[in-house]
Structure formats: structure tokens, C-alpha cells
Amino acid sequence: MVYSISAMRSPSVPSVCNWCRSTSNGIRNTNISLLLKKEPFYRKVFARMSSPDSDSSSLKVAASNKVRVPGGQGDGSLSLTDQLENPETGLEDHLVLHDVNDPTIEHEKKLEDEEKFVEPPSRYHEIDNEQDSASSTLAGEEASAPIDGTESIEEDEARTRTIPPPGTGQRIYEIDPLLNNYREHLDYRYGQYKRLRDTIDKYEGGLEVFSRGYEKFGFTRSATGITYREWAPGAKSAALIGDFNNWNPNADIMTQNEFGIWEIFLPNNADGSPPIPHGSRVKIRMDTPSGIKDSIPAWIKFSVQAPGEIPYNGIYYDPPEEEKYVFKHPRPKKPKSIRIYESHVGMSSTEPKINTYVNFRDDVLPRIKRLGYNAVQIMAIQEHSYYASFGYHVTNFFAPSSRCGTPDDLKSLVDRAHELGLLVLMDIVHSHASNNVLDGLNMFDGTDSHYFHSGSRGYHWMWDSRLFNYGSWEVLRFLLSNARWWLEEYRFDGFRFDGVTSMMYTHHGLQVAFTGNYSEYFGFTTDVDAVIYLMLVNDVIHGLHPEAVSIGEDVSGMPTFCIPVEDGGVGFDYRLHMAIADKWIELLKKRDEDWKVGDIVYTLTNRRWLEKCVAYAESHDQALVGDKTIAFWLMDKDMYEFMALDRPATPLIDRGIALHKMIRLITMGLGGEGYLNFMGNEFGHPEWIDFPRGDQHLPGGEVIPGNNFSFDKCRRRFDLGDADYLRYHGMQEFDQAMQHLEETYGFMTSEHQYVSRKDEGDRIIVFERGNLVFVFNFHWSNSYSDYRVGCLKPGKYKIVLDSDDPLFGGFCRIDHRAEYFSSDGWYDDRPHSFLVYAPCRTAVVYALADDGLETDKR
């Protein structure tokens, strides 16, 4: 019999709190120091250096005409189609994708492609002098030099790895027959991809070689000196300047080849020392269509901001061998199910300051491991001059952010994570770039169409940033090499690609509501060049490192997004299930009575077959100023006064803590094959993230007030989750138990998922995932005794997770000593069922008692 009870705190069952455990895990303070703390690197750099030549001409930023260079390649920014069909095509002749529903046009286009296809020549001349050959050899060794037995084995493996050739690209039609209606577009896309792979094979020695651009461009060291190369076809002249030559623009003049690549070789000093000292500042001075400008080299490996200055300075980073970090630990194996702790090193301190790689390594990584996550995703790694951009306005793509330490500090962080068995994923930004001219890629050679599309197509009006031209040969080299650089130099285990929706469509997903109609994905608004780039970068990632993970931030639901490239897909391992977080925010703005459990289930399960998703209830996006975290939506200002256990909670706090746990568990249980949490949200971190900022003065005279450059809300109060006298602690304990439950049972990647009940009246959701049965009661007041739930397998069931456990801040309304025996007979379309007690606002997970698994890891 089922009956309701109207009071959340007063279940009509005997008190069973004598079984409850009042103890909780203590936190072991692991403080392993792999590197000695040193003074900030930039202070050592600038303490002994003179200022750059103050007589340099000021930069004049102006619209520029298209620049022609010897060889007829324009400024190098050609679309893929133009380059492949006609190397002499001008910059602005971009591919126009005709309507895929018009087979006549598509057929004619294919015929034109077949008739006109001509491969471009190599984009830089063969290096045939001894000095450059030595430079090339050493650069390849420095990328990941053998350091011990383990590393030597991995280097041997890396040399034998090859990127597999393209497949047929036809399996997508077996997976989703509806794609046959868009075969013209998809076959054209795959044909262009294969053609580009063939061209790279023919003129660059293959994608494996093409993606090692850092061995040719930027600074490369050889036994006899240093070679510096830069692609800047719009520049009229170029010179390398820096502390090493007293910023003399006439000392080291560079020469240009027919492809717009500038080059200079600097021999070693007479005493054999390198011509550019480690840690010294460097820039390239160019005479451009926009005037004389000094720029940080595009392939710079480190850049810092001098005290009191705004633009960053490029740093020649090549420490002595004894100072280079030596990796000690192999990469962990890719887990079957991935549980990601999204983090930001700079704001990871409990103190109001910018944290360091070393402190994150010693203090935060052990915490992540203890909480039960198996991967850490790190944001804001690529250098960005504007801290408040959250790392998304990248200025120097090959340089780790110097705010948090040196490149070697970052390497020690990654190595420590590997020692703990954690994958390290990097939040990589290839969707756009900072529009900074002095220390970024914008107007690098004086033209607005160098690395980016020209005009409005190259500008993202909402992000105020520049958009890459993925049809440019050298842009492809730059970005593909960038992804590989982070995998091999820093040994990251994969990427979360930011802003992929913006890349794949010419409208960038702005002011567009995707309905799921396939014509929204395969038509005029698709940027085929960008999609092909994503296919190529996934080829590089998975071809060279099969254990690596690639995750794409796509809100559109692009079909084939997570299908392997060889089968015709884009090639990502996972898509971020962004609709889930939006759904929770939508519901939290409503009364509990207006929630629809069917709507919740639909959103969580609405994903494409065989395309894996990473689910999350909230990420860093919801934590930013202007938005609110789930905890803040639920509990608001009561969080400031009623989270201590020595004073009574308010109804708002009770409701908030209960729903916070339920929302996170059902998101993990139904939402995808992976799970993500932003640091601090596991315990309901109060307030929002507000980066230090001053007042912003808009052109119209309006002033947007800042926060007086305060770091107070740009940190993570981990101490709140650790304090066992605060209610935050119970929320943190629940999140930890949730992670360990998934580790034990692996339910996220189970092929068995069945929702047996979505009862709008009772507000009950029952589903099976793997061998577990999940029971959620979202009712705000009704508790149900002897509530029958269906199950697939017969036997005796036990409780393996209970959100009402006092350890998690619950009310101890369920006796964990109870046994639940199934009975035969169909119920909710299941062959068996058992009876449970379902208190209001609780989530309980049941497992077969004789499965032999050890479940209590708290």
C-alpha cells in the first residue's frame, strides 16, 4: 500500500538512527614538494635587463589591402578548396557550399573538383644547409628527450606510431540512416578531408610531420646556434630584436622566402654559449602595411608581463639541462568511464591571490584524487593577457600562463597527477583568439587576414575576438602543431575543445535555436573548413596517442560529432551535454510544483546513439559573475548564516541541500557516459566567481563598475567543504561517495539503461543503469512506504547510496540494515520488482546484495 506523509522531517516509521555512522573521513594533508619554491620567474627576467629601444615607431593599426608575396600565394590565408584546386587563387575566393538538397549543383561541384584538383607546393623551402639540418634534428629531440627507462620506451613507441590513413567514411549511414538524405554534403565533406590528407602526405611528408611545425618555426636550437622562423607574408621587412642584441633592429635582419616565411640563423658565441641567453626577452620587428610593429613571436614558448607594464614580452625559454623538469611517471590508462574535475589553477587557492602550478600540484591534486575523480581538466593554460577572460582570449598559443609559474612547474604538475593516476585534460582554445595586436596574433603581419578571416567573418562580435581561417595551410600547421605540442612536450592526456559550435557554423551559434532538424547542420551555414580541421586534429590526437581523450563543447547537437573520423564522423570521444545545465537553471527558477519529471528524464537521455556525452549539472559557466551556481539558486543568502551545524537550518537550506545532492546524482546516473564538476561546486561553493577588474568606461560614456581589482571572489574556499562543523561538509561527502559508487559499479558506461517510471503525480523517477536501481523522489512533502519499483534481475537488494544519510546532511529516514527481496511478476514493464520506502526529496541507489562488490569506500 502506498500512502503519503506531509512532513519532510516526520516520517511515520520508527527511528532507525542507531545504524547511522557519525564519523567522516579525515583529510590527509599531502604536501609533496617536487620542486623547490623559487622567486617569480619574471622578476629574475626583468631584474637585469634594459628597456627595449624607445625610438621604435608606434604601431599604426589600419585596414590593409591584400598583400602579394613572391610565389603568388597572397597572404597565405586561402581556403582549403582554393589551395587544393588552384595554388594561385587569391585570398578572398573562399569556398561557397551549395545547398546539399540540390544534387545537380553538388554533382557539378564534384566534377569541378576532380578536373581542377592541383596540389600546392610545400609551404617552406627545403633546409639544405648544415646548420638548419642540425637545428631540425635537435628540435625533434628536445620535444621529448629520453630521460629514463620509461621515457625511452615511450619515445621509441612514438617514433613507430603513424597516423592511420582515412577510411571509407561510410559507416555513419549505417549508424544513422537519416543521414542518407544529406549524403551529398557529407560525402563532399569527407572527400575534401581525404583530398587534404593526400596533399599533406605528398608535400609535407604526412600529417605526422606536418603536425611538428614547432620543430621548424619559432626558435629551434642546434649544436651550432639558434634558428628563428616566422610566417608573416604581409611584412615588408623583419628583424629579430631583444635583450641579446640590445634591441638593435639593424643587427639581425631576417630573410623571406617565396612563401612569406622569414628566417634567421644566429651562430653560437665564440665561447660556445647560445647567442640568445635563456630567460631573455625577444620580439620580431616588422615593417608592415599597418606600420612598424614589434610583436611577440607567434610560436613563442613562454611570455611574461613585466611589473608595471601592460603588454607581455616574449621570453626565450631554454633552461640548462640540470634545470629542466624530468618526467618520472607514465601516463595512466584511459578509464572506461571518465569523471572530470574541472579546475582553474589561478583561482584554486583558499586565499585571495593567484595560485601557482606548484601549490595546485601539492594541495589540490591530492584532494581531487581523494574525492574519487579520475581526471582533472585544467582551464586557462594557454597564455592570455587578460586574466578575467578565464583563459579564453589566448595571446600566445604555445606558452603556458606565466601567472602561475614556469613551463617546468607545469610539467611537474602533470607528472604528479600521473603519479596519482589522474588523467590531465587541457581546456584548449582553437575557436578564436585575442584581438590584442601588441602581444597576440591579431594583425601579426600588419594585415587582418593573416591567421584569421578578413572583415566581419574574422571577428566574433559577442566575444570581441578574432576567428581563425581554417582553410589556410599555415593556420592548419599552426593549430595542429599546437595540439601536438601540449600532448608531447607537457604530456597532457587530451583536450576539452572550447567553442566548437562557433567553429562549425558561420553564424557561430549566435541567435540561433537548434531544433534538431538535420538541415541546420548540413547546409549553407556549415563551415566545412572548420569541420575538416576538427577531423584532422582528432586524427593527430588519436593517431599519435590512442589513449588520449578529446571532448568537444558543442551545443548544437551536430550529428556524427562523436563518430570516428574513419567512419565519416568528426572524431571526438565525447560531447559536452550542455543542455542539462540549462535545464536545471530553467527548473530552479520555477516552483517545485511546476517541475515535470518527464521533462527531466527527456533532457538527461536526449543524446545520439553511439555518441558519448559528458554530463554535468553545472560547470564554470554557471559559476561566473552574472549567473548563479545551483547551490546559490537553491539557498541564496541563507548560505551566509545557516550552514553551521550548531544552529538550526531553515527550510530553504534543507530543501537546497537535498535537491543539490539529487540533481548531481541523477545527472551522473542518466546524463551521459562521463561526468564533470567544476571545482568547489561539489560542496555547494557559495557565491560566484568574479575576477579582479577595474571600472570599464564604454565609448558612450557609460561606466561599468569593477570590483577594485579584488581577488576575494576569485578563489575556492575548500576549507568550507573540509570543515566538519558546516553543512558544506556533508555535501562534499556525498559527492565523494557518488564518485566512488561509479568507480565500483561503472554504471555510466553500462549498455543497460532503462527508465521504468516517470510518475508526475508522485514525482518519482525509477531507472536502471548497469546493475543498479535508482529511485528518486522529487516530491517536496510526500514520502511513500512500500513503494514498488521494477527491476530486471531477481534477488536480494541492498542500499549502496542514500542521499538521506546523516553523513551527507540527511535525516536518517531509511534503515540501511533492511533487505529488499524481489518478487516475480511484471511491473512497470520489468520482470521483477521490490518494495522500498521513498522519503520526500531523496535519492537511493540499490544493488544486488550478492554481487560481491565492496561498496562502502567512504
Residues known to be catalytic: 498, 553
Burial level of 705, CB count in 10 A (0-12/13-18/19+)?
exposed
Which stretches within 403-546 are classed as H helix? 407-419, 473-488, 500-504, 528-544
What is the distance between the alpha carbons of residues 565 and 170, in angstroms, rounded to a whole number? 10
- In 3D, which of 823, 759, 778 has the Cα closest to residue 797? 823
CB 261 within 8 A of CB 312: no
Asked if residue 414 lies in contact with residue 400, where contact means CB atoms within 8 angstroms, the answer is no
Q: Distance between CA 500 and CA 432 in Å, rounded?
A: 10
- Asked whether the beta carbons of 680 and 342 are under 8 A apart, the reply is no
Closest by alpha carbon to 633, among 652, 648, 661?
Answer: 652
Is residue 696 within a helix (H) or strand (E), and if so which, with residue range?
strand 696-697
What values do phi and psi take at 110, rounded to 5?
-65, -40
Using CA atoms, how far apart are residues 203 and 259, in angstroms rounded to an integer?
Answer: 14
Tell me the β-bridge partners of 576.
Answer: 614
Q: What is the distance between the alpha carbons of residues 786 and 449, in angstroms, rounded to a whole number?
A: 69
Residue 586 dihedral angles phi and psi, to the nearest 5°: -60, -45
How far apart, in whole angstroms, are the C-alpha atoms of residue 297 and residue 239?
A: 11
Q: List the alpha helices (DSSP H) in 545-676.
A: 578-588, 597-605, 620-623, 630-635, 651-670
CA 669 to chain centre: 22
In our burial notation (b when 16+ CB lie closer than 10 A, e otherwise), range 550-577 reads bbbbbbbbbbbbbbbbbbbbbbbbbbbb
Please answer whether residues 380 and 393 qualify as being in contact, where contact means their C-beta atoms are separated by less than 8 angstroms.
no
Cell of 409: 612547474
448 and 454 Cβ atoms separated by less than 8 Å: yes
How far is 736 from 747, CA to CA, in rounded Å?
Answer: 16
Check if the beta carbon of residue 35 is closer than 8 Å to that of residue 408.
yes
276 in Cβ contact with 227 (< 8 Å): no
Q: Got the DSSP string for 211-276?
A: T-GGGTSEEEE-SSEEEEEEE-TT-SEEEEEEGGGTT-TTTSB-EE-TTSEEEEEEEPPTTS--SS
Q: How far apart are the first and last CA of the chain?
A: 34
Whole-angstrom Cα distance, residue 801 to residue 735?
11
In order of 53, 79, 103, the CA distances from 522 in angstroms are 53, 19, 14
CB 629 within 8 A of CB 620: no
Quote the DSSP letter at residue 644. B
CA 669 – CA 672 distance, rounded (Å): 8
Q: Tell me the sheet residues that pair with 824.
A: 832
- Which amino acid is it at 558? M
At residue 670, φ and ψ (nearest 5 deg) are -120, -15
Q: Quick one: which of 806, 540, 444 has its CA closest to 657?
A: 806
The residue whose grid cell reads 605528398 is 202
Report phi then psi at 382, rounded to 5. Answer: -65, 140
Tell how strand 313-315 and strand 281-288 pair up.
Answer: antiparallel
